[in-house]
Amino acid sequence: MMSTSTFDHLTPEQIEEFGEEMDALRQRLVADLGEADAAYIRTVVKRQRQLEIAGRALFYLPPAWPAAVAALSLSKIFDNMEIGHNVMHGQYDWMGDPGLNSRMYEWDTVCPSEQWKYSHNYIHHTFTNILGKDRDIGYGILRMDEDQQWRPYYLGNPVYAFLLMVFFEWGVLLHDLEVERIAAGEKTWAETKHLHRGMLRKVRNQTLKDYLLFPAVTGPFFVPTLIGNATANLVRNVWAFNIIFCGHFPSGVATFSREETEDETRGQWYLRQLLGSANITGSRLFHVMTGNLSHQIEHHLFPDLPARRYPEIAPEVREICERYGLAYNTGPLRKQLGSVARKILRLALPTRTPSYDGPEVVGEPAAA
């Protein structure tokens, strides 16, 4: 575990000053929200729909199958990352548009939006990286932290990670069931009954759409269309898994105990969000394709603000971190992905020796 030691050079007063700077940044962004933000998300929705229509239409032309899969894959990535994830965080509720309202939006994946919002918006973003509270640490099946007690089961860490990547939307679906607790006898199947109807309905609708109805309307091209839809879902799953894991689990990301987060102040909350996240550098298109979750630090600091603003404020957040002597974990995709892969492999083994090879702390602490 790497927690308070990463900011124990700060006095309580400095921690609260840090929080006040974050609050001020947030208020400035809220006051500046307007037509440019609304136009952006509407444009993304329009492009996503155009890509889906193009992908569906191209399945009628067998030679264009690769182009059809590419268009449909991009459509699903945009729907999952830049639209679905961000809309369901309430980032565009202020617009008053029912189609972009967090309470009404349903995304193109097997996990019901209401279920995801509870496990992600509430559990994960409230208890970010608190061991024993944040179930996104390892998703209930992986060992992703030194302080998770090792068991022989974790020798399969790399296999579990690969399967979770390939079937990521299904892993997200099953997340709230807490199947690991059911398997351990700590929870009964009956206790999850309230989730079953919504899950089955969403799985039915998604399965019929992608693997029966859309393939059927292409007539003689049923099989290639079915395979194309499955491939597009696979591409989306792999992409989402890698972006999310690179934002949460590369080397240098901190975890925290329940005890040290009791009676947490606003400034300490901001510190936990900062130190429990990591960014990925890349081009503007890359950031859009990640739903701007390549700026995971800014997302955890301000989860309900439009993600398109994260690249804009990232330099300011980094400058604030430098002044307070706080690590700002960022790097290219290959670096962060390699770091995640090494952690998955290393933690499959029974080691409890902390290994920190993350970013160096930059800058000097702010004056008291």
Specify if 236 maps to a domain.
yes
Range of the domain at 188: 4-346
Per the CB < 8 A criterion, the answer to whether 300 and 273 are in contact is: yes
pLDDT, residue 367, reads 37
Look up residue 359 and give its DSSP letter: P
Q: How far is CA 331 from CA 83, 146, 278, 311, 318, in A?
A: 24, 22, 8, 14, 13
Q: Is the pTM value of this prediction over 0.85?
A: yes
Q: Residue 88: which H helix or E strand, with range?
A: helix 86-88
pLDDT tens digits in sequence order for the chain, 368 residues long: 444 456 788 999 999 999 999 999 999 999 999 999 999 999 999 999 999 999 999 999 999 999 999 999 999 999 999 999 999 999 999 999 999 999 999 999 999 999 999 999 999 999 999 998 999 999 989 999 999 999 999 999 999 999 999 999 999 999 888 887 888 788 888 899 999 999 999 999 999 999 999 999 999 999 999 999 999 999 999 999 999 999 999 999 999 999 989 989 999 999 999 999 999 999 999 999 999 999 999 999 999 999 999 999 999 999 999 999 999 999 999 999 999 999 999 999 997 654 434 333 333 334 33
Please indicate, yes or no, if residue 316 is contained in any of the structural domains: yes
Is 96 inside any structural domain? yes
**What single letter denotes the amino acid at residue 349?**
L
| Total domains in the fold of the chain | 1
Please tell me the distance from the alpha carbon of residue 336 to that of residue 344, in angstroms, as a whole number.
12
Q: What is the pLDDT of residue 352?
A: 60
First to last CA, the chain: 27
Count CB atoms within 10 A of the CB of residue 118: 14
Of residues 281, 316, 275, the one with CA closest to residue 295: 281
- At 184 the pLDDT is 79
In a domain, 367, yes or no: no
The answer to whether position 324 is within a domain reads yes
Q: Is residue 195 part of a domain?
A: yes
| C-beta of residue 141 within 8 angstroms of C-beta of residue 160 | yes
Residue 91 pLDDT: 98
**Does some domain include residue 220?**
yes
355 domain-assigned: no
